[in-house]
């Protein structure tokens, strides 16, 4: 309720396509899906259990595996690009 009031006071609305629930369920499977709603907007649990916030991939269990995997893939692409540029520099 407090979040809902703050968002209304600041003229903000939730985008349900970009807002998901991250949970760390230590008790095993829930009997039914978690249902969270704010201002008549129902939020779904993210099936990947990962959200991206300011370029950082956050997992529901607060581990870094998703961020590290994504970062490794990005760095690999950039290093490969730099290797190709090295050969272009030698040819000119």
Which stretch, 33-42, 61-70, 83-92, has highest mean pLDDT?
61-70
Q: Are 24 and 62 in contact (CB under 8 A)?
A: yes
Q: What's the pLDDT tens digit per position in 34-65?
A: 667 777 777 777 666 777 778 787 776 777 88
Q: Is residue 30 predicted with pLDDT exceeding 70?
A: no
Helices (H), 1-92: 2-9, 65-91
By DSSP bridging, strand 56-59 and strand 50-53 are antiparallel
**Model confidence at 26: pLDDT above 80:** no
Name the range with the highest mean pLDDT among 22-26, 30-34, 51-55, 69-73.
69-73
Q: Confirm if 30 and 23 have CB atoms less than 8 A apart.
A: no
Nearest to 45 by CA among 64, 70, 19, 13: 19
Q: Any idea what DSSP says for residue 53?
A: E
Query: Whole-model pTM above 0.85?
Result: no
Spacing of C-alpha 66 from chain mean position: 9
Domain ranges of the chain: 2-91
């Amino acid at each position: 309720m407090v979040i809902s009031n703050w968002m209304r006071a600041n003229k903000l609305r939730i985008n349900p396509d970009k807002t998901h629930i991250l949970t760390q369920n230590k008790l095993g499977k829930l009997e039914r899906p978690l249902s969270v709603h704010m201002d008549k907007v129902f939020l779904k649990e993210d099936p990947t259990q990962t959200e991206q916030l300011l370029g950082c991939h956050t997992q529901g269990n607060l581990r870094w595996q998703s961020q590290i995997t994504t970062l490794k893939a990005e760095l690999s692409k950039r290093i490969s690009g730099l290797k190709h540029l090295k050969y272009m520099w030698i040819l000119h």
